[in-house]
Amino acid sequence: MQLRPIPDDFLEKVYQLRERIIQESKGHIFEDSAELVRQMREERTRYLEELHKSISEPAPYTRTQSPSPDHSSGTNYEHEQRKCDGGGDPSLRSG
């Protein structure tokens, strides 16, 4: 492959196009990609910190109702009663 010099008229067109782009964009051609990446990383870090914080914080203590020892709720007492009386089957009843 043989390299050839770039013609001057082509280079002149490239420079003219460059100047036109700078004028139309008021000097702002490209965003600073390094700054953009830094900002996105900071945003992601804040998001992950908040997510970790919400996961690792214990939920507020809520008291659950448990059956009382005297079986006044009925549920456990009824279950125990069925176990003793054979679950309704007269042949399985104790005593």
Question: Is 91 within the bounds of a domain?
Answer: no
CB 55, CB 62: distance < 8 Å: no
Q: What is the span of the domain harbouring residue 31?
A: 8-54
Residues in the chain: 95
Question: Is 68 within the bounds of a domain?
Answer: no
First to last CA, the chain: 107
SS3 content of the chain, % helix, strand, coil (to 5): 60, 0, 40
User: Which H helix or E strand runs over 52?
Assistant: helix 33-56
Question: Is 87 within the bounds of a domain?
Answer: no
Question: Is 28 within the bounds of a domain?
Answer: yes
Question: Is 30 within the bounds of a domain?
Answer: yes
pLDDT > 60? residue 57: yes
Q: What is the tally of structural domains in the chain?
A: 1
Question: Is 26 within the bounds of a domain?
Answer: yes
Tens digit of pLDDT for each residue in 16-42?
998 998 888 887 777 778 989 999 999
DSSP 3-19: --PPPHHHHHHHHHHHH
Question: Is 70 within the bounds of a domain?
Answer: no
Task: Name the most confidently modeled range: 17-21, 43-47, 84-88.
Answer: 43-47
Question: Is 79 within the bounds of a domain?
Answer: no
